[in-house]
Structure 1
Amino acid sequence: MSHDGIAQKPTSRFVYRTETDPSALLQYLAAIRALADSAKEALGFLPEAAYRDAIAQKRLWAMVARENGTSHFAGFILFSGVFPNARIQAVAVSPEHRRSGVASALVGGLVSHLESRGYIAVTAAVASDLADAQAFYESRGFVARHIRDGGQARQRKIALRSRELDTANFFTLMAPPAVSGHGAVNLGLRPRSAFEAPLYIIDLNVLFDLIKERARSAIANRLFGAGLAHLVRLAVAPEFIVELERTSRDPSNDAPLKLARQLPKLPAFPKEDVAPLAAAIHKTVFVDANHAQAGTRQALSDARHLAEAALIRASGYITSDKALLNARDDLLKLIGVDIAGLDEFVELLPADEPNREHGPLKGTKCETKAATTAEAKAYLASQNVGDALVAEYLPSAAALQRASAHGIFEDGDIVAVGIYRAPASVDAPARMLVHVRPDHVSCETFAEHLLDEAIRESCHSGPITIELRAIPGQSTVNRAAKLRGFLPAANSDILIKVALGRPLTPTTWTAIARQTRRRTGLALPEAVPTAATVESGLSVRGPDGSNVTVQLAALEAALAPTLIAWPGRDGVIVPIAKSFADDLLGTADQLYMFGRPNAAFVGLRTYFNSPRTAPLMRPGVPILFYESKRSGGRGAIVAGGRIVDATIVPKERVSDELLQRAVVEDLEPLTTSSDVLATSFDSLIRFPNPVALDTLRQLGAAGSSNLQTTTPLPNAPLAAILDRGWSSA
């Protein structure tokens, strides 16, 4: 029930389902009337005929609780309205089922029903003296618009509350793409239709790396393997073959030449097109840089290579030539071709996929695990998702693109599903579809979990564009997505974002900026931000060609999950016991045999500690978690995140919302104070390489208490810890 007087959400023994069938609802009519009459002071009085009419007209739904094969009446919602506006007339929950999310599930199910049918708003009239009802509707997004008299008999005021629905209508279709959430920024992202893999031209050194025993032979093998897997198209310029023939001692018996002739080759362009462009390239790379090779046959050949790549509009040119790599920025401006080293390009290729988290959700009958295609299709069909949409995200086995489905099962039934389609090429987007039962008491938790897991899988190999299909009636999913940086694309049913999935520090800035541009089209400045940039904002060019100046904090939110160690930004290190780290951060080495708490399934999580640390725990500050050896932990920083909010709260008044997003049940041992500091954080990044205490001491980050208490973290060691924590990724 509670710990130290703190009321908590009860453990559910029940499986809740909404009942809308009139014939089934009539069986609960007596229970519906009895519950309504017991709450008539709040709901008013209606005769039995009114309830019968509402059931027949499908304006009354009930929530039914199943337990051990027996069904119990748990609550109901009564609504009315004329399209496109609806009205909630009453919501009531049986006493034994209160604090289980039943009322929220009933309202959520109705909102989804209305959105899928094009309604634009739903209202509720709530007596101003009903504080709990006012707080409930406020928490569900109903905004107080007007106060009116409630009649002479009761002398009460009525607050008219309304909620705008997540529905495409004339006004929203005419509006520009929305920016949702505090500090959100439109980065000019746009959905991409099907297209070929990007075309990259290779130079002679890349071929020699492949066929000779060289230091980069293994990397070259990965590159050509990616070509065979259609992640990238590889080709050679006509000058490539000419150069090999010119330097070959025996053209009829030259293995590299024979192999090169089998590679895809660019068409031959007229000399009058190639020559002036090659001359401009030669001047930029060699003459202007006073390079020793200027004017040599090799330099002129390299220039023709690049000219031919530019004329075919190749995405990039892969080379080991230092002169070309040093001039990459100038060449990108001059000819629009990205010059990439072999090592850099291979960084764009997908790594081994991370394991999806699975296991039961503590206190429920829910379990998250992989779902078969048949299970996912059956669930989506039961939720009236169209066949065309299902076929798009769950194609036949013969389709080239791989699709995977992850489901949340309750008592054997799927109640939510997330479908992930991997990118078809190195610069293609990952595609996601997430659907949850909107009438489920845990639908918000399910939406957050499935979104976060799919995002984590998407950006595991590096920066990536993610496209999420927005489904009518799935406002819970769409709202959670927008809080994670997704924005609506113009004239589309797609929500879109770029995710980095890794820290961004002065050491990694240039490499990650290049990866981001190559994989997503989003161009960050390749120079590390200066202190002046932090004040003025960063100039970013979107894939649509637009330029925007954005504050680094807003950019971090848009590119989440990530942590940016910009100049002057400090952090904080907090200790955490191993058992709490396992549950709150998901850093355990072993599977969770007994299930995981609700906090492990959501994006915004809560860490409790002493109010004395409040000056260090400020919104926007990076928070790093040190797993204490005293608790059997690794004595290392294992994860990081970004503080969203930090509030001092009396222990007895800590809300259910905070407790559900935390893993501490007994707050008393945390501090001798009667208050506790509740710190909410998001953008969780687990370190593949935990940073041990000895290293932290060398960096000057251990403080005077060896991290047994909350410790301030200056900018330089913050960046160094992020680099080391991610060094083995």
Structure 2
Amino acid sequence: MMKQYMKILKSFSEIEPFLPILQSCADKNRKALGFFTKQTYEEQALQGRIWIAISSDTNDYAGHLMFGGTFPLLKIFQVFVNPNYRRSNIATKLIKELVSYGESGNYISISCRVAADLRANSFWEKNGFVLIRQEQGKGNSKRTINIRIKELNTPTLFTYGDARNKQNLHSSEVQISYINRPISNNPSYVIDLNVFFDVVRNRPRNKEASLLISAGFNNQIRVCVTTEFSKELEKHSDPNKVDPVLSFAERLPTLPPIDQKNLEGIISKIGLLVFPEKMHAGKLTENDRSDLLHLASCIHHRVYGFVTNDKAILKVSDKIRQNYGLDIVSSQDFIGSDSISEKYDLKTIFDGQEINSGEIKEHERQELESFLSGLGISLEQIVTILDPGISGSPRRRVSVRADNELIAVASWDAPSKFMQSTVLYLFVDEHHPTATKIIDHVLETVSRDTAPFQLRRIDLSIGFEQVHTKQTALQRGFCLQLSGDSLSLTGGLSKVSYRGIITPDSWHDFTVKYKKLTGLALPSMMPNYKEFINTGIVFKSTQTINLKLFEFETLISPALLLCRGREAIILPIRRRYADELLHSYQKQTKMFPYSEALLHVERAYFKTSRNTNLFKKGLPVIFYVSGKEGGSMEAVGSGRITFSDVLSYEEIDMNMSRQGVLSKNELSDRLDSEGKIHVFTFDNFNLFANPIPFNKLRALGLVSAANLITSEKLKYNQFIKLCKTAYDKEQLK
């Protein structure tokens, strides 16, 4: 076939004329490509997520690529080539263009879903998309779906700054305060008239819009409307007839009315974003002005998001969020899985007592109510604490026992993309000798129980006499609220948790959401490593706050900040030590009790004094399970070093032996000629969803000639490569 010369179109104005033929081709091949509505194609094109290849000679449609996803992961939804232009490498060129786009934007990887029975799997393999798992497809066919990933080679232009071992200032020692909010403060989403009609008139977007309404019924979000909403609806109603739709709409939660004169300033500014040409020409239509009134009301009342299918508004969604902090979303954005399952079961031995932590069973309820009542909790409050939730909005409920004696009860909401906050009810018998360790364990468990790559605010609710709980929470990144109700259960403490990595490119989105949850404005640019170490991050609370990297990372734990220039260390660890120190590393529940070290947020690892200088406070440590004792020979997770020193046997026995897993004989055997051993403690352990085998580590250039016989330093560019490989599968969940 004669060689074809192609051009790739990306802007909406260029793509729009080709959308009808694109949809026609996709619909004819829906078995391979899946089905999307006309509106979906238009919305994706408006956001620059459809690219079209055309013939340079004839301008004919030759193929297209449709993609999406959220940072740091891109997702391919469709790749199609016109039969008349096949065998011209068009699909490969589109994929390469997306790879270039992803790497220039510092994305980690690209994923795609391909039916296992399609010949296209060979195409994806040739283009570097590795099969990582399979899922059972939905619908009548029940086809097996291959999940494929391509890792991106994100360029690195920055170098490492010197690490320094700084003293930790706990958040209790600086006056960081978060805004105090009502316990039931769920994010408010305002819907426009078209989204409402999608539900009540059973239009094509009914499924997506219904999910939004369902989340409102489940109390995950607040669904409301503006006063302009009813005015628009009245225009579509017959004044001489009773309109049940209008009657229903008038009963929807409505934002308070605002004098339009007070909104004119917002309207004039946001109008230039949404309708620039019409604003300059003074030719806004009645509908245009109604749209701007919706947006201005949302901005004035500081609601979380505005749900619309309006193309002009969706097209400038990023600019509206950046300038006004208002999320613009379509009903399509509410499709998908939003919860994860986090382990909170544990069995260990402490001072000869068996400690069990696990899910509450309904047959325990009478005993739990009696325990809480004994701590001075009212019956009304007990009902809230033990509430199991409902199918669409489940709650975690955990009890902790020592030799079958109930010593603690905790409950909180399961993670959801709709809910950015939860209340942690934590009630502990602080007279019990294990109380402090149990408090540590629960606080860490809840901090980890966060949707991947999402922020979550945790408001702590405890008994009045739980002094140790409050002190421990302050040391674990909880901050005081600006004000509080002394009559409530709330301990006046809150924490923001982030599970995943934060990069300079995702920093802006992080800061916008962080401000919504806390009221604190972080710098617009993420400090690099040297800036974090030598100056810290500076922001305003009740006073000007200056936090170094270690302290700020503690505030948002278990987050990992990939600031430019940060290095890490990779540590080989034997399987039996990993089994005991790294609870979530276990793929199966252990029959016998775990080490007491798992009750400690900071766990200790003892090693010979070789390479001691590599271990510095705040440095990320990658745990590699070696091949000894049948180990898996793969990097399984990361932690953060909190302390490192060479100590004598007596110092360790007195202060740190319970945080580790070595016996006294094993400790003695590892002492050097001076009777000392290197010990470091770590926290913030995060299990890699995609463990990295030795051969892969070597292929990525992360292993020296020593082959991980001992600890090795990872430079910044190596650290980035490792994180891209380790966290991509986590983002898929």
Give the TM-score category using the shorter length. 0.5 to 0.7
One of 384, 388, 394 as aligned partner of 2:385: 394
TM-score after normalising by structure 1: 0.62
- Give the drift of 1:687: 2.3
- Structure of higher CA gyration radius: 1
Q: Does 2:569 match 1:568?
A: no
- Give the drift of 1:413: 1.8
Q: 1:394·1:403 contact (CA, 8 Å) conserved in 2?
A: no
- Give the drift of 1:502: 2.7
Q: Does 2:227 match 1:227?
A: no
Deviates more, 1:704-713 or 1:593-602: 704-713
Q: Which residue of 1 aligns with 2:93?
A: none
One of 423, 448, 452 as aligned partner of 2:444: 452
Question: Hey, what's the Cα distance between the residues in 2 that align with 1:623 and 1:218?
Answer: 45
Deviation string 1:631-651 (CA, Å, 9 cap, x unpaired) is 434433222111111111245
Question: Hey, what's the Cα distance between the residues in 2 that align with 1:395 and 1:331?
Answer: 40
Distance 1:185 1:688, change over 3 A: farther
Q: Which residue of 2 aligns with 1:599?
A: 597
Q: Does 2:678 match 1:677?
A: yes
One of 337, 357, 366 as aligned partner of 1:374: 366
For 1:655-694, what aligned pairs fall within 5 Å after superposition? 655-665=653-663, 666-667=666-667, 675-694=676-695
Aligned length: 540
Q: Which residue of 2 aligns with 1:199?
A: 188
Distance 1:280 1:403, change over 3 A: closer
Deviation string 1:391-414 (CA, Å, 9 cap, x unpaired) is 375367799997654233233321
Q: Which residue of 2 aligns with 1:41?
A: none
Specify the SS of the correspondent of 2:510: helix
Q: Which residue of 2 aligns with 1:64?
A: none
Give, as a single letter, the amino acid of the residue that structure 2 aligns with 1:355. Answer: K
Structure 1 runs not aligned, ≥5 long:
1-178
Distance 1:679 1:423, change over 3 A: closer
For 1:211-610, what aligned pairs fall within 5 Å after superposition? 222-237=211-226, 277-287=266-276, 302-311=291-300, 313-319=302-308, 324=313, 331=320, 336=324, 338-342=326-330, 346=334, 351-361=339-349, 363-371=352-360, 372-382=364-374, 384-387=375-378, 391=382, 394=385, 404-420=396-412, 426-440=419-433, 442-457=434-449, 462-471=454-463, 473-489=465-481, 492=484, 493-525=491-523, 527-530=525-528, 533-534=531-532, 535-540=534-539, 548-586=545-583, 587-610=585-608
Distance 1:460 1:478, change over 3 A: farther
Give, as a single letter, the amino acid of the residue that structure 1 aligns with 2:679. Answer: A
Q: Which residue of 2 aligns with 1:10?
A: none
- Give the drift of 1:718: 2.2
Distance 1:247 1:419, change over 3 A: closer
Specify the SS of the correspondent of 1:654: helix
- Give the drift of 1:708: 3.2
Q: 1:432·1:468 contact (CA, 8 Å) conserved in 2?
A: yes
Q: Which residue of 1 aligns with 2:611?
A: 613
Q: Which residue of 1 aligns with 2:33?
A: none
Question: Hey, what's the Cα distance between the residues in 2 that align with 1:625 and 1:283?
Answer: 52
Q: 1:455·1:499 contact (CA, 8 Å) conserved in 2?
A: yes
Deviates more, 1:184-193 or 1:707-716: 184-193
- Give the drift of 1:364: 3.0
Question: Hey, what's the Cα distance between the residues in 2 that align with 1:244 and 1:569?
Answer: 55
Q: What's the C-alpha RMSD, in Å, of the aligned pairs?
A: 4.6
Distance 1:618 1:540, change over 3 A: same
Q: 1:185·1:558 contact (CA, 8 Å) conserved in 2?
A: no
Deviation string 1:325-372 (CA, Å, 9 cap, x unpaired) is 6756764687x5513345997599951342322334375333222343
Distance 1:676 1:401, change over 3 A: same
Distance 1:398 1:299, change over 3 A: closer
Deviates more, 1:588-597 or 1:356-365: 356-365
Specify the SS of the correspondent of 2:294: helix
Question: Hey, what's the Cα distance between the residues in 1 that align with 2:483 and 2:345?
Answer: 35
Distance 1:532 1:325, change over 3 A: farther
- Give the drift of 1:693: 3.5
Q: 1:503·1:563 contact (CA, 8 Å) conserved in 2?
A: yes
Q: 2:278·2:284 contact (CA, 8 Å) conserved in 1?
A: no
- Give the drift of 1:678: 0.4
Deviates more, 1:514-523 or 1:224-233: 514-523
Specify the SS of the correspondent of 1:359: strand
Q: 1:642·1:682 contact (CA, 8 Å) conserved in 2?
A: yes
Q: Which residue of 1 aligns with 2:51?
A: none
